């Protein structure tokens, strides 16, 4: 039977580097160990939390319950034909290690998602996305364990109900399952997506468009905009890019000559949250132990020894400013615990 760690420090398990502890901490490397951990938690009637790489979570206090940390690894080829390869990947595999692996194999689909922190298990839950690509574009199947009856599940892409930064795992199945494996379908015939952000400019510097250069271009851009969590605590993009009516953009254009936006459909567009925050005067601003990154207004940072509640209070002030100035409501992408 798997034995948990007690009063386990979580500072190295959340990218904000918040110094908190968990009453119990289970690190599971197989589905069998996962089931054993869940059985112990249910037998003792304690609350639990699934924690992967900790790149999308903000702790505001010690966790009085059990943490389950999936450490299931492995990248296995399950399909290989002339057009694509399908890889079944353990939830504990580091996300960028998977991207690097697929690019080295000449497989396309994940390159725009390079350098996103976290683990594979979080990719379908958050439907992670960057530079015009989302995880749902390549996910074929998600497997895991139901917490209530300990049975295995397998959901296809449609059953996962993916949406922008959303999935069934954040709604109907929130807190009810643990992801153990994700299967991705990756193409041998590349259709590289490079129109988003500054990718085209960076690709020119690298000598042109190819699979390896797209990954490197994304890495270069992210390194200039996003701080390394090992040096400056953060959880990447703290807010979602809001979806708004095109009429609002037209109103904003009367005051701001260049309002960046990305069409979603005939009526709705996506506004960059970072632009809204910057125009609200928050970029580079520090409040005590926390602040907004000097190069990317979408990233809230800890300057060391910050408490989670300090970050929450800063986020609240930013949301108020954006609402007052633009009449746009920002939704946090980070999960507050």
237 catalytically annotated? yes
**Helices 211-225 and 199-206: crossing angle, nearest 10°?**
120
| Environment class of 127 (CB within 10 Å of its CB; exposed 0-12, middle 13-18, buried 19+) | buried
Q: Pick the catalytic residue: 165, 185, 215, 319?
A: 165
Q: Pick the catalytic residue: 36, 94, 313, 333?
A: 333
Tokens 């350098």 label which residue? Answer: 115
Rounded distance between C-alpha atoms, residue 308 and residue 315, angstroms: 11
Joined tokens for residue 231: 């040096």
Give, in order, the Cα–Cα distances in Å from 272 to each of 165, 197, 267: 14, 11, 17
Rounded distance between C-alpha atoms, residue 92 and residue 258, angstroms: 42
Rounded distance between C-alpha atoms, residue 13 and residue 2, angstroms: 20
333 catalytically annotated? yes
Tokens 């300057």 label which residue? Answer: 303
Q: Pick the catalytic residue: 237, 280, 302, 319?
A: 237
Q: What is the dihedral of CA 75, 27, 237, 329, to 10 degrees?
A: 120
Q: What is the dihedral of CA 13, 18, 19, 21, to 10 degrees?
A: -60
**Helices 95-104 and 211-225: crossing angle, nearest 10°?**
150
> Which residues have a catalytic role annotated?
165, 237, 333
């Amino acid at each position: 039977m798997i034995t948990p760690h007690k009063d386990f420090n979580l500072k190295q398990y959340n990218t904000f580097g918040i110094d908190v502890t968990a009453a119990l901490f289970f690190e599971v490397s197989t589905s069998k160990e996962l089931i054993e951990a869940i059985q112990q938690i249910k037998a003792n009637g304690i609350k639990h939390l699934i924690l992967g790489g900790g790149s999308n979570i903000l702790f505001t206090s010690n966790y009085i319950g059990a943490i389950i940390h999936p450490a299931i690894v492995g990248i296995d080829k399950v399909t290989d034909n002339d057009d694509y390869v399908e890889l079944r990947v353990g939830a504990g595999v580091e996300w960028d290690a998977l991207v690097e692996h697929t690019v080295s194999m000449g497989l396309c689909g994940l390159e725009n998602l390079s350098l996103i922190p976290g683990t594979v298990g979080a990719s379908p839950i958050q439907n992670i996305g960057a530079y015009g690509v989302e995880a749902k574009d390549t996910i074929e199947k998600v497997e895991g364990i139901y917490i209530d009856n300990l049975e295995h599940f397998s959901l296809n892409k449609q059953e996962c109900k993916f949406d922008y930064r959303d999935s069934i795992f954040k709604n109907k199945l929130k807190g009810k399952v643990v992801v153990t494996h994700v299967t991705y379908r990756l193409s041998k015939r590349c259709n590289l997506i490079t129109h988003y952000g500054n990718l085209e400019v960076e690709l020119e510097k690298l000598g042109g468009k190819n699979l390896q250069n797209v990954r490197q271009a994304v890495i270069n851009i992210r390194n200039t905009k996003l701080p390394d969590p090992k040096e400056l605590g953060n959880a990447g993009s703290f807010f979602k890019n809001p979806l708004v009516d095109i009429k609002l953009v037209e109103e904003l254009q009367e005051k701001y000559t260049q309002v960046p936006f990305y069409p979603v459909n005939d009526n709705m567009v996506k506004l960059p949250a970072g632009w809204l925050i910057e125009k609200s005067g928050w970029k580079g601003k520090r409040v005590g132990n926390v602040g907004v990154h000097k190069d990317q207004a979408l990233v809230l940072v800890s300057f060391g020894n910050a408490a989670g509640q300090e970050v929450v209070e800063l986020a609240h002030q930013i949301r108020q400013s954006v609402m007052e100035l633009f009449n746009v409501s920002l939704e946090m992408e980070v999960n507050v615990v």
